Amino acid sequence: MSNEALHGHPEVVTTHDVHHDEHHVHHHKETFITKYVFSQDHKMIAKQFLITGMIWAVIGGLMSVLFRLQLGYPDQTFPWLEDILGRWAKGGKISAENYYALVTMHGTVLVFFVLTGGLSGTFANFLIPLQIGARDMASPFMNMLSYWFFFGGSIVMISSLFIQTGPFSGGWTAYPPLSALGDASPGSKTGMDLWITAMAMFVVSSLLGGLNYISTVLNMRTKGMSMTRMPLTMWALFFTAVLGVLSFPVLLSGFILLLFDRHGGTSFYLSDIYIAATKTALPNEGGSAILFQHLFWFLGHPEVYIILLPAMGMASEIISINARKPIFGYMAMVGSMFAITILAFLVWAHHMFVTGLNPFLGSVFVLLTLLIAVPSAIKVFNWLTTIWKANIKFTPGMMFALGFVSLFISGGLTGIFLGNSTLDIHLHDTYFVIAHFHIVMGVSAFFGMFAGIYHWFPKMYGRFMNNTMAYIHFWVTLAGAYLIFWPMHYEGLAGMPRRYLDYTGWESFKQFAELNKFISTVAIIVFAVQLLFIFNFFYSIFKGRKLTKPNPWGATTLEWTTPIRPGHGNWPGEIPEVHRWAYDYSKDGRDFIPQTEPIGPNESHH
Amino acid sequence: MTTTGILLLAILILGFLITFQIAKASEYVSVLKGEKKAFEQNNRINAFLMVVFLVLGLIGVWWCNKALYPKTLMPYPAASEHGKNIDTMLMITIAITGIVFLITQILLFWFAYKYQHSEKRQAFFYPHNNKLEVLWTTVPAIALCILVGFGLFYWFRMTGEAPADAMQVEITGKQFGWIYRYPGKDGEFGKKYYRNIDEATGNQLGLIWRDTTIIKKDRHNNPVGEAKLKADPQGFDDLVDNTAMYLVKGKAVKLIINSRDVIHDVGLSHFRLKMDAVPGTPTTMWFTPQYTTDEMKKITNNPKFEYEISCDQMCGNSHYAMRGIIKVVTPEEFILWKAKQKPAYALAFPETVATLAQPAAPVADSAASTQRHP
Ligand code: HEM
Ligand SMILES: [Cu+2]
Ligand SMILES: [Cu+2]
């Protein structure tokens, strides 16, 4: 396992020698530090994001296993837990305080650090220059900073787990006054300051990355690569970046006001509060706790599409390649992503139907929310038509892409329940919501990410991942995801609230004890299978079957025209010119026609 | 580590090792067999598993519904008029989305199976068709319009003005419990002020029972001004209670929802309603209970049935135990119950109960009440 295996560059060295004229003279002086740590190569930064994201995913997943133990077995103790976790599981039981800390960290970590940082950070970095035909990002240095802010934020977030008063425990949405008042909850003391600091660094990272992705896509496409010839992954990552750049600053402003309320004596969110624990009436009057929710969800809703769009883009690309068929309705796919991007900014208050929001305003948000289901439906039908009369190769990437479509359908449809205020007034903050957003955003985005990893792994490391392990990973995860989250809809229909650690005291919700056990058991199995994936990933980096040809999937796009292990700069020679769109599969009797091939004189039009 | 821990770990590691060996072996086999043959075999198996998953999945959906439907609220009638509308809306939505779910999932897995790779075939080059695109833009749009139409019709009914004769009850969330308040005979709630809260003297809501001057303090405890409060006699007969909220069957009730500290949420699953309790910003919600608690015991066949109030907004470490109770009773029972209640003022100052009849001169301000939160 030399560095070569990770990154080995026999070809690279030669290419550099031949072509050092153009862009990267400085690369001759590369040291270990500049190559693997403070790298400015977009491919290396992508791998840094990916591996950091994977570590985060294991941590976040493990947290859910722990709190699922409590939910499944509320009346039992697990002494061995105390051996491993110490004060987190005193007497083998997770206390309320720790339960809420785990839930909060689980949500924050998976939504932001894995499915935003890990997902966009990996694939936008890796794919944008390779698929549009650029040597690197517009600003490699900003790109490097983006990773290091992400890393710094991660360290701060982790460190909050180890402080005396514990990490923040008020839910990933961090609503004040709970998140503003240390006296209301121990997690809202230093833990919350660290949480805000980590999130602020995360926002900076997202902005640095996002601006880079946007400018690279707009300015650095190779000759012939018009916007409408870009693969759908590029469109998806581009819209994702636009969403992030426009909405993350609003979240940051919300956090800054929260900091002022916490430490500056202001009253943006606080009013009329009496803390029983300290028998004090707080001085704050006239603030609005709901203001924070507007600021939060103005990011929060676009955020779900920030998570979902990259998965949609990758699934589109991978489905088309392995169906050996053009994606159906390319322009409709771009159009629907555009519509989603716009509408994503206009639906945030659907998370706030029961906050006392003006009912008329609520009705406007109902309309806009259900409107967003139309572009979602278009995408689903286009994917279905893409595999109609196809010739499907079930590569692991393809299977995860198909699984993504299935989950997106299941989760998207329950959004139609929640977007309707009449039903949300019943279902809000119950397990129905948990089922909805885990399926549509959690698991399906993970499926998109897995599809991307299996599909582009050969490009990243010059080797394949092991297929058998991949198939086991796929089937267990798909079945497990449905077994875990499908029954939760029924708990929601019984009104069972989320963020409870024990239902035994409730006449209305205790009938699900058996079910909760079952769900917890499945969750543990599914988690174990993710470890199998992680193992497969690292094992294959060093021992996977080697790539023998540069284009293993028979894809049309530019990344497969680079050498098996491209160096910094991607193409040893000239950047190839593009002559057609990315989806000429099975056209005119040919299996596929690369984007770099000029249109033939007798080629048919479509 | 305990034995269970070691055992679990051992099983896990063993499982991994076996899977890994199988995975490695199958890779060698595929090299021996030839890449093409191995691919074809894998492809066939996975294609087949796609239909298997579809069939088992659909059976699972049916079976899950059979097992869990009785545990939801749906087998029983909703306990409020609004709730019945919500149930209707729910059924319409389940019907429409259910059809879409079945069609799309069946097509997805069926196509995956049917169009698996074959050497003999080539995929059909079919990049677009505007007619189809228009079709699946307009049909979902129409379906959604139907859902929005029904939804908003019910929504405006529920969120409209409460009937004029609705009784009023105030419910206030605090860490971690609920405080219920009823206006007395005058039908009006007395004024309150949060800086006037004093649990020690039985004033958990901060009702203004006396003329009081409150020294306002900033967060460093320095005085920054004062609030002169004038006693509000309307508060003398208010009932304040922590045990249960009593409502009358068939009589509309308007809840006035408050919070004393962080955001809570009044979750009434049997009535299918909920509304946040936001400090500083009162909210309201009205409904009409349809069945008494005793009737619900019979309907649900559960002698322990209660209308529980679940806090549905994360409010701190005992959020999961923030339970309230609503007792829906007959009008007669309600009158009896009310007659037995003593106003909070009377409970706090038993010696002044006599003056309650003519609440003319509020007791003079005492030094203690002005400086109760040093
Ligand atoms: C397509 C991708 C989607 C993603 C990634 C997504 C994600 C989420 C997430 C994370 C929540 C959590 C709310 C919470 O913590 O309280 C949520 C709730 C919600 N989603 Fe989605 N959603 C998606 C699609 C939809 C669709 C298509 C609709 C409506 C047509 C919808 C409507 C809602 C509503 C109204 C809520 C709020 C429910 C509540 O808080 O009670 N979502 N969604
Ligand atoms: Cu949203
Ligand atoms: Cu609560």
Count other C-beta atoms under 10 Å from residue B234's C-beta. Answer: 18
CA distance B349 to A211: 66
CA distance B215 to A520: 53
pLDDT higher than threshold 70 for residue A296: yes
What would the mean pLDDT of A361-368 be, rounded to a whole number? 94
Q: Is the dihedral of CA A434, A440, A444, A445 positive or negative?
A: negative
Q: Which residue has the tokens 């880079």?
A: A212
Do residues A492 and A432 touch, judged by C-beta distance below 8 A?
yes
Nearest CA to ligand 1 atom 37: A351
Q: Which of B107, B270, B274 comes nearest A384 by C-beta?
A: B107
Count other C-beta atoms under 10 Å from residue B51's C-beta. Answer: 14
Burial class (CB within 10 angstroms; exposed 0-12, middle 13-18, buried 19+) of A273: buried
The pLDDT value given to residue B33: 81
- Provide the b/e sequence for B115-124 (b: ≥16 CB within 10 Å): bbbeeeebbe
The pLDDT value given to residue B353: 61
Interchain CB distance below 8 Å, B89 and A423: yes
| DSSP three-state, residue B281 | strand
Confidence of residue A567 (pLDDT cuts 50, 70, 90): confident
Interchain CB distance below 8 Å, B159 and A366: no
The string of DSSP letters for A239-261 reads: HHHHHHHHHHHHHHHHHHHHHII
Is A279 near chain B, with CB under 8 Å?
Answer: yes
Residues at Cβ < 5 Å from ligand 2 ion: A 301
| DSSP three-state, residue A571 | coil
Do residues A83 and A555 touch, judged by C-beta distance below 8 A?
no
Q: How far is the CA of B121 from the centre of ligand 3 (A)?
A: 60
The pLDDT value given to residue A10: 39
Interchain CB distance below 8 Å, B269 and A330: no
What is the ipTM score, two decimals?
A: 0.91
Q: Report whether residue A418 contacts ligand 1, using a CB cutoff of 6 Å.
A: yes
Q: Which residue has the tokens 């206009």?
A: A346
For residue A242, give both structure tokens. Answer: 């636009």
Q: Which residue has the tokens 């699984």?
A: A403
Q: What is the pTM of this model?
A: 0.91
CATH pick for A31-592 out of 3.40.50.620, 1.10.510.10, 1.10.150.20, 1.20.210.10: 1.20.210.10
Do residues A137 and A210 touch, judged by C-beta distance below 8 A?
no
Q: How far is the CA of A107 from the centre of ligand 2 (A)?
A: 15
Find chain A residues with C-beta within 8 A of B272's C-beta.
Answer: 425-426, 495
Q: Which residue has the tokens 């704050």?
A: A284
Q: Which of A481, A444, A488, A442 is nearest to A111 (CA)?
A: A442
- What pLDDT digit, counting tens, does each position of A251-292 carry? 999 999 999 999 999 999 999 999 998 888 999 999 999 999
Find chain B residues with C-beta within 8 A of A389's C-beta.
Answer: 115, 123-124, 126
Estimate the crossing angle of helix A444-461 against helix A513-543, to 10 degrees. Answer: 10
- What pLDDT digit, counting tens, does each position of A105-133 carry? 999 999 999 999 999 999 999 999 999 99
For chain B, percent helix, then strand, then coil, each to nearest 5? 50, 20, 30
Interchain CB distance below 8 Å, B151 and A502: no
CA distance A23 to A125: 19
Q: Report whether residue A16 contacts ligand 1, using a CB cutoff of 6 Å.
A: no
Q: Which of A175, A367, A472 comes nearest B19 by C-beta?
A: A472
CATH 2.60.40.420 for the B167-206+233-349 domain, yes or no: yes
A394, A478, A526, A537: best to mutate for the B interface, most B CBs within 10 A: A394
| DSSP three-state, residue A8 | coil
CA distance B306 to B297: 8
Q: Which of A299, A284, A187 is nearest to A253 (CA)?
A: A299
At A593, the amino acid letter reads I
Count other C-beta atoms under 10 Å from residue B141's C-beta. Answer: 14
pLDDT higher than threshold 80 for residue A35: no
Do residues B101 and A409 touch, judged by C-beta distance below 8 A?
yes
Shortest Cα–Cα distance, A361 to chain B (Å): 11
CA distance A13 to A431: 55
Residues of chain B short of pLDDT 50, as ranges, are 356-374
The pLDDT value given to residue B354: 52
Query: In this structure, what is the dihedral angle of CA atoms B68, B71, B75, B77, given to the nearest 10 degrees?
Result: -150
| DSSP three-state, residue A388 | coil
For residue A74, give both structure tokens. Answer: 């509320």
Interchain CB distance below 8 Å, B195 and A281: yes
Cα atoms found within 13 Å of the Cα of residue A290, Cβ hemisphere only = 19
Q: How far is the CA of B151 from the centre of ligand 2 (A)?
A: 18
For residue A392, give both structure tokens. Answer: 């499907």
Q: How far is the CA of A438 from the centre of ligand 1 (A)?
A: 10
> Which residues, in sequence order, are bridge partners of residue B179?
B172
Count other C-beta atoms under 10 Å from residue B75's C-beta. Answer: 10
Domain limits of chain B? 167-206+233-349
Neighbouring residues of A59: CB distance < 8 A, sequence distance ≥ 6: A109, A158
Q: Which residue has the tokens 């969750």?
A: A523
pLDDT higher than threshold 70 for residue A27: no
pLDDT higher than threshold 70 for residue A5: no
Q: What does chain A come to in residues?
A: 606
CA distance A185 to A187: 5
For chain B, helix (H) and strand (E) counts, in that order, are: 8, 12
Neighbouring residues of A523: CB distance < 8 A, sequence distance ≥ 6: A64, A65, A68, A480, A484
- Provide the b/e sequence for B156-194 (b: ≥16 CB within 10 Å): eebbeebeeebbbbbbbbbbbbbbbbbbbeeeebbbbbb
Q: Report whether residue A347 contacts ligand 1, using a CB cutoff of 6 Å.
A: no
| Residue B266 DSSP label | E
- What pLDDT digit, counting tens, does each position of A585-600 carry? 998 888 999 999 998 8
For residue A171, give both structure tokens. Answer: 């839910």
Do residues A325 and A585 touch, judged by C-beta distance below 8 A?
yes
Angstrom CA distances, A308 to A96, A341, A407, A408, A441, stand at 32, 11, 12, 9, 6
Interchain CB distance below 8 Å, A170 and B314: yes
Do residues A357 and A255 touch, judged by C-beta distance below 8 A?
no
- What pLDDT digit, counting tens, does each position of A136-149 carry? 999 999 999 999 99
The pLDDT value given to residue A25: 41
| CATH 1.20.210.10 domain extents, chain A | 31-592
- What pLDDT digit, counting tens, does each position of A242-251 carry? 999 999 999 9
Count other C-beta atoms under 10 Å from residue A215's C-beta. Answer: 15
Angstrom CA distances, B349 to A504, B187, B202, B346, stand at 39, 22, 9, 5
The pLDDT value given to residue B372: 35
Cα atoms found within 13 Å of the Cα of residue A118, Cβ hemisphere only = 26
Q: Which of A171, A186, A420 comes nearest B89 by C-beta?
A: A420
The pLDDT value given to residue B368: 37
For chains A and B, what is the number of CB pairs under 8 angstroms?
A: 401
Angstrom CA distances, B34 to A170, A545, B26, B204, stand at 56, 14, 12, 80
Do residues B86 and B78 touch, judged by C-beta distance below 8 A?
yes
Interchain CB distance below 8 Å, B144 and A373: yes
Say if residue A177 is preceded by a cis peptide, omega within 30 of 0.
yes
CA distance A573 to A576: 8
- What pLDDT digit, counting tens, does each position of B184-210 carry? 888 899 999 999 999 888 899 999 998
Nearest CA to ligand 1 atom 11: A437
Interchain CB distance below 8 Å, B280 and A285: yes
Neighbouring residues of A311: CB distance < 8 A, sequence distance ≥ 6: A119, A404, A444, A445, A447, A448, A449, A451, A452
Strands (E), B96-244: 167-174, 177-182, 212-217, 223-229, 239-241
Report the chain B residue with the minimal C-alpha distance to residue A430.
B312
Nearest CA to ligand 1 atom 40: A351
Q: Which of A408, A415, A406 is nearest to A347 (CA)?
A: A415
For residue A306, give both structure tokens. Answer: 């920030």
| Residue A509 DSSP label | T
